[in-house]
Chain A
Amino acid sequence: ETGVTQTPRHLVMGMTNKKSLKCEQHLGHNAMYWYKQSAKKPLELMFVYNFKEQTENNSVPSRFSPECPNSSHLFLHLHTLQPEDSALYLCASSQDRTDLYGYTFGSGTRLTVV
């Protein structure tokens, strides 16, 4: 199994729900990332954390709220989402934000907003 674990694998939520996605890495990396992967579109970088500090917010709507309590864990809190937010959400990690060797993805959470 990959060194980056994401839970849950699948999530269906209503537009008024609040849910959280979890990512955990066991690679000793210090940078973690959230990506959104929609059909027929490039991978979209959402957030970057380096040594627990957020270093990038790629103009992501406030209904997505990241949290990084330590270098091994990353969360994405979701609330009042829209149907167009349905996508595969991928977590990734690397040694740090300037050392991208070993850049590893998790298996993703398939999110469906109904």
Chain B
Amino acid sequence: GENVEQHPSTLSVQEGDSAVIKCTYSDSASNYFPWYKQELGKRPQLIIDIRSNVGEKKDQRIAVTLNKTAKHFSLHITETQPEDSAVYFCAASPDSWGKLQFGAGTQVVVTP
């Protein structure tokens, strides 16, 4: 089955700086990679996703890049703000599997 590793487990950044979270996956058949943000006491919410036929996707201050050859994908947050503080989860799914395998999460803290 799929195995997803996520690094780092915690990330502290100054407001305005960029944050990068990296994930690797094991199943070369995986072709859907969503990212979720979970604020304290709240549900995980989808913030961006990417399919394997695309190398990069951007939505305002958030971007995701995918390297299929190396089997890793990354979340980039630019111009971080205190409201970006949360736990971020990556996930991967092969079409034929039909379910998401999650990384362990990254606690992001943005300090003013």
Please tell me which one of the listed residues A33, A45, A90, A97 contacts residue B43 in the complex, with CB atoms under 8 A apart. A90
B46 within 8 A of A: yes
From the candidates A2, A100, A108, name the one contacting B100 in the complex (CB within 8 A).
Answer: A100
Please, which residues of chain B bring their CB within 8 A of the CB of A107? 42-43
Chain B min CB distance to A49 (Å): 11
Q: Please, which residue of chain B has its CB at the minimum distance from the CB of A40?
A: B104
Contacts of A97 in B (CB 8 A): 98-99
Q: Do B103 and A42 touch across chains, with their CB atoms under 8 A apart?
A: yes
Q: Are B46 and A104 in contact (CB under 8 A)?
A: yes
Interface residues in B37-59 (C-beta closer than 8 Å to A): 42-46, 49
Q: Does A66 contact B (CB under 8 A)?
A: no
Flag whether B89 is at the interface (Cβ < 8 A): yes
A45/B100 in contact, CB under 8 A: yes
B102, CB-defined interface residue at 8 Å? yes
Q: How far is the CB of B73 from chain A (nearest CB, A)?
A: 15
A37 → B minimal CB distance (Å): 9
Q: In the complex, what residues of B have CB within 8 A of residue A50's CB?
A: 98
Q: Which residues of B contact A104 (CB under 8 A)?
A: 46
- Contact between B44 and A100, CB atoms less than 8 A apart: no
Q: Nearest chain A CB to B66's CB is how many angstroms away? A: 16
Asked if B89 and A43 make an inter-chain contact with CB atoms under 8 angstroms apart, the answer reads yes
* Count of chain A residues near B, Cβ 8 A: 25
Q: Contacting B44 at CB < 8 Å: which of A31, A41, A45, A90?
A: A90
Interface residues of B in 59-112 (CB under 8 A from A): 89, 93, 95-96, 98-105
Compute how far the CA of A106 lies from the CA of B53 in the bound complex, rounded to whole angstroms: 29
| Shortest beta-carbon distance from A104 to chain B in Å | 7
Q: What is the chain B residue whose CB lies nearest that of A33? A: B99
The 3 lowest CB-CB distance pairs between A and B, nearest first, are A97-B98, A43-B102, A105-B43
Q: With A104-B46, A108-B43 given, name 17 new contacts (CB 8 A).
A: A41-B104, A42-B89, A42-B103, A43-B44, A45-B101, A48-B98, A50-B98, A55-B98, A97-B99, A100-B32, A100-B34, A100-B99, A103-B46, A103-B100, A105-B36, A105-B43, A105-B45
